[in-house]
């Protein structure tokens, strides 16, 4: 499988390294306005591949992305600590207008995986600009938020985070919703697990933890700069689902209606989004999700492509 990564910043570079180590990727192309940086990232990885396995790695112009299976977009205006992901929207939309035509020209049969923020809106814009079938243009969505929820619950319940199957839906950002009704511990509904095991949680535990899921990315930023390792792992998980035709369920940015995208569980395989997964959320969760959708739709409608 051939992967092209647009953007050689920390997320793009870490993603290239992560994907260079898997057995289902045999070619990676790295594109950046700073072509020398992209070449440096490629060379840095190439120097170690004799210790891993052979992968073709290129860096240069968009002609090198020709016939890519998946194009991962990580380029964008960086966020500011404490600032909503919706703020840099217009600048990132303008960037998409310059790069999407080059992607569609060189890889007309590929899939786009959007990582840049605000990811739900930018995924929608990428689909609108490309004109591709919406199932072939997906965003990383709340895949990472759900993983962060798994980590935090594992920490608090003192269990392996791999035994937690948490779900965050809605906007990848301020209005995201932790779907507690869909969150399980080794297949046991969260509330039932807590009750069965005699665990006492604070009255505001769910509210506080949902806020921590949103805030923890900024905590990392203040400690070390941009989140990149966790993002690359989330990207790798989505790419794996596509490459291996897994039909696995992941909360990605997808077309919820014709008017915009939002993060919601979907079956992911070689075609992209095979189908949306229906949920039975509580009335409160559904209301919050509807509000999140309305927020995304309102902001998206203010941008002129």
Q: What is the pLDDT of residues 19-54, one digit of tens each?
A: 999 999 999 999 999 999 999 999 999 999 999 999
Backbone φ, ψ for residue 158 (5° rounding): 60, 50
53 is known as an active-site residue = no
Predicted TM-score of the model (pTM) = 0.95
Dist CA 2 CA 26 (whole Å): 6
As beta bridge partners, residue 139 has 114, 253
Give yes or no for a contact between 80 and 106, defined as CB atoms under 8 angstroms apart. Answer: no
User: Residue 303: what pLDDT?
Assistant: 85
**Residue from 179, 178, 170, 140 nearest 290 by CA:** 170
Residue 7 assigned as binding residue: yes
User: Residue 80: what pLDDT?
Assistant: 67
Residue 60 assigned as binding residue: no
User: Residue 85: what pLDDT?
Assistant: 56
Residue 9 assigned as binding residue: yes
Dist CA 52 CA 283 (whole Å): 50
Q: pLDDT tens digits for the chain (305 residues)?
A: 999 999 999 999 999 999 999 999 999 999 999 999 999 999 999 999 999 999 999 999 999 999 999 999 999 887 666 666 567 788 899 999 999 999 999 999 999 999 999 999 999 999 999 999 999 999 999 999 999 999 999 999 999 999 999 999 999 989 999 999 999 999 999 999 999 999 999 999 999 999 999 999 999 999 999 999 999 999 999 999 999 999 999 999 999 888 899 999 999 999 999 999 999 999 999 999 999 999 999 989 888 78
Structural domains of the chain, ranges and CATH numbers in brackets: 2-139 (3.40.50.720), 142-301 (3.90.110.10)
Residue 208 assigned as binding residue: no
Which residue among the candidates 2, 85, 148, 172 is catalytic per the annotation?
A: 172
Residue 253 assigned as binding residue: no
Residue 131 assigned as binding residue: no
- Measuring CA to CA, how many Å separate 74 from each of 119, 191, 225? 10, 37, 16
User: Residue 88: what pLDDT?
Assistant: 78
Residue 117 assigned as binding residue: yes
Q: What is the CA radius of gyration of the chain?
A: 19
Residue 8 assigned as binding residue: yes
């Amino acid at each position: 499988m051939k992967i092209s990564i647009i953007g050689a910043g920390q997320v793009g570079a870490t993603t290239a390294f992560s994907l260079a180590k898997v057995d289902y990727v045999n070619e990676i192309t790295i594109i950046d306005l700073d072509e020398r940086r992209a070449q440096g990232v490629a060379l840095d990885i190439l120097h170690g591949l004799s210790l891993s396995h052979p992968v073709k790695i290129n860096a240069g112009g968009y002609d090198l992305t020709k016939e890519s299976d998946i194009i991962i977009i990580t380029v964008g205006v960086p966020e500011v600590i404490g600032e909503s992901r919706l703020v840099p929207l217009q600048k990132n939309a303008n960037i998409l207008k310059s790069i999407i035509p080059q992607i569609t020209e060189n890889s007309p049969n590929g899939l786009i995986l959007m990582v840049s923020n605000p990811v739900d809106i930018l995924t929608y814009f990428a689909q609108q600009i490309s004109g591709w079938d919406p199932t072939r243009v997906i965003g990383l969505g709340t895949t990472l938020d759900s993983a962060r929820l798994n980590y935090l619950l594992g920490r608090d319940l003192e269990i392996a985070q791999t035994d937690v199957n948490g779900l965050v839906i809605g906007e990848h950002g301020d209005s995201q919703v932790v779907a507690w009704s869909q969150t399980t511990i080794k297949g046991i509904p969260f509330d039932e697990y807590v009750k069965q095991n005699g665990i006492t949680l604070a009255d505001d535990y769910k509210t506080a933890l949902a806020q921590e899921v949103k805030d923890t990315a900024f905590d990392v930023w203040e400690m070390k700069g941009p989140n990149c390792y966790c993002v690359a792992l989330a990207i790798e998980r989505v790419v794996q689902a596509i490459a291996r035709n897994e039909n696995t369920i992941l909360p990605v940015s997808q077309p919820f209606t014709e008017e915009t995208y939002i993060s919601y569980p979907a079956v992911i395989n070689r075609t992209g989004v095979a189908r949306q997964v229906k949920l039975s959320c509580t009335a409160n969760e559904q209301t919050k999700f509807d509000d999140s959708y309305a927020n995304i739709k309102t902001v998206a409608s203010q941008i002129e492509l």
